Chain A
Amino acid sequence: MTRCAIDEAACQGHALCVFEADSLFRIRESSGKAELLVDDIPDDQIAALYRARGACPERAIEVIEP
């Protein structure tokens, strides 16, 4: 399965990943950082995952191919 990692040090909570893929990401209220809602990315969400990676201004999203 495709997975994803968020670089928490780089993430500044812009929330553009949430805009691109709200079933994969959300912003944690306490830290203001993005967090993943799933471990394995469903096939029908992979395009959205790549859009989220492309949208992240801090380049904090890494896609891990199976």
Chain B
Amino acid sequence: MTELSAGPTANMGTNDHPVVNFDHHGEDFYRTAPEVYAALRARCPVAYSPKYGGFWVVSRYDDVFSAARDQALFSAARSVVVPETGIPLLPPLESDPPDLERFRSILMPALSPAAVELMVPAIQSDVTTAIEVFLPEGRCDVVEELANPIASRATMRLLGLNPADWRYFADPLHEASYSQQNSEVCRAARERIHRFAEYIAREVDARIETPGDDLISRIVTGGGEYAVSRTEAIDLVRMVIFGGMDTVMAALSNIFVHLGQDATARRALASDPSRIPRAIEEFLRLCAPVQGFARTVTRKCELGGQTLAKGDTLFLLWASANRDERIFENAESFVIDRTPNRHLTFGIGPHRCLGSGLARTELRIVLQEFLQRIPDYEIVDDQLVPPATIGIVNGWVSVPIVFNRASP
């Protein structure tokens, strides 16, 4: 088996394919991932890991790109996280055609650029309110006091749920994502996640009775031609909650850690906010909140020189594709204005993240409003808390910072 961080060459397994000791839930993977990915791309771009019942790891941009866009050959209608969590499947992330199109058609208009624009004032108000609270203190935990409430409240509003209830969903989600998969914390959090269905069902039923103009109403009325069942409606609402909360929070935590350590970038963005959107793409490329998603092989085929069998699991590493030196110049470096920047952080093809526009808008508003008030800050290094695993979501549990209260 290949030691990805140290070993010189890929050993061939008994079936003539490279076998690697890849474990995205490994304890220090949050630090070692970039070098593990580099080794995979260089030596065994499609390799087999025996962990979690066995799965293929796909690490080069071109292979990830083509596999993610081939929905006939690679099915998404099974858990896209490895190993599965036992949470009901999340449509349309974990759907194949024709359900895929049916569910996407319902969600898409609510997340279009025009729809996102209408959400800007509420996000802006949430962001400035959050900042004003910790501004006089000269310190804050960026995750707890900014990233978490902003991402969660935006998701609640999108659905038409009471933003004040955000912790009911956000807390167990984060606990489950950031703890070891077999831990007691994770098990307890997943039990609370299973009970989301009760809360969601009440909201769904209320809108079946009296629809309003929020996303849950749109889901239950289906815009006419895309009818969904009550169970499907509950699953779609759960999907939006999963998609909107953990991910944006994780992205923000990564951005604040990077900016805390990169004074040049911090000053560049504080002095010229018009550079923020491109910088966000570069943060997303280098620190993908989701490292990858899995697919299931539907018939025997070849990918990257390896023969895959029907039923095999394929783990597509967005985060490694994003660092592929075949596509990106100085791939391991942060280039603040990188153009073009076709990273795969939101996925690619028919399953690409439908909330990408909303996520980008949240990130932009947070950075603009924060850097305008706090152009300079320092991370309290010894209080920075990494997650126990980045296998599902890659972000920091806690990012405490200090700053000068007299900052202009």
Contacts and interface: CB of A to CB of B under 8 A. Distances in A.
Contact of A32 (B112, B277, B340): B112
B339 A12 contact: no
Contacts, number: 48
Contacts of B349: 12, 58
B339 A18 contact: no
Contacts of B343: 57
Interface in A15-60: 15, 18-19, 26-27, 29-30, 32, 51, 54-58
B113 A27 contact: yes
Given A13-B108, A32-B104, A58-B348, A18 B340 contact: no
A55 B342 contact: yes
A65 B340 CA distance: 20
A30 B105 CA distance: 8
Nearest to B108: A32
A63 B93 CA distance: 32
Q: Is the interface of A mostly helix, strand, loop or mixed?
A: loop
A12 B69 CA distance: 10
Contacts of B341: 55
Given A13-B108, A15-B357, A32-B104, A57 B342 contact: yes
Contacts of B105: 32
B344 interface: yes
A56 B342 CA distance: 7
Contacts of A19: 277
Contact of A29 (B69, B109, B339): B109
Interface centre among A15, A27, A57, by most B CB within 10 Å?
A57
Contacts of B113: 15, 18, 26-27
A14 interface: yes
Nearest to A12: B352
Interface string B88-132: 000000000000000011001100111000000000000000000
Contact of B114 (A10, A14, A29, A58): A29
B340 A12 contact: no
B346 interface: yes
B109 A32 contact: yes
Nearest to B360: A19
A66 B344 CA distance: 32
Contact of A14 (B104, B340, B352): B352
Contacts of A51: 339-340
A51 B113 CA distance: 19
Nearest to B356: A14
B160 interface: no
Given A15-B357, A18-B113, A32-B112, A55 B352 contact: no
A57 B348 contact: yes
A29 B218 CA distance: 14
Given A54-B340, A55-B340, A55-B342, A29 B112 contact: yes
Contacts of A58: 69, 348-349
Interface string B339-368: 111111010111010001100000000000
Contact of B339 (A14, A32, A54, A57): A54
A10 to B, nearest CB: 8
Nearest to A52: B340
Contacts of A13: 108, 112
B112 A27 contact: yes
Interface of B: 69, 104-105, 108-109, 112-114, 277, 339-344, 346, 348-350, 352, 356-357
Interface of A: 10, 12-15, 18-19, 26-27, 29-30, 32, 51, 54-58
30 contacts: A10-B69, A12-B349, A12-B352, A13-B108, A14-B346, A14-B352, A14-B356, A15-B112, A15-B113, A15-B356, A18-B113, A19-B277, A26-B113, A27-B114, A29-B114, A30-B109, A32-B104, A32-B108, A32-B112, A51-B340, A54-B339, A54-B340, A55-B340, A55-B341, A56-B342, A57-B343, A57-B346, A57-B348, A57-B352, A58-B349
* 7 nearest A-B residue pairs (beta carbon): A54-B340, A32-B108, A57-B342, A12-B352, A15-B113, A27-B113, A29-B109
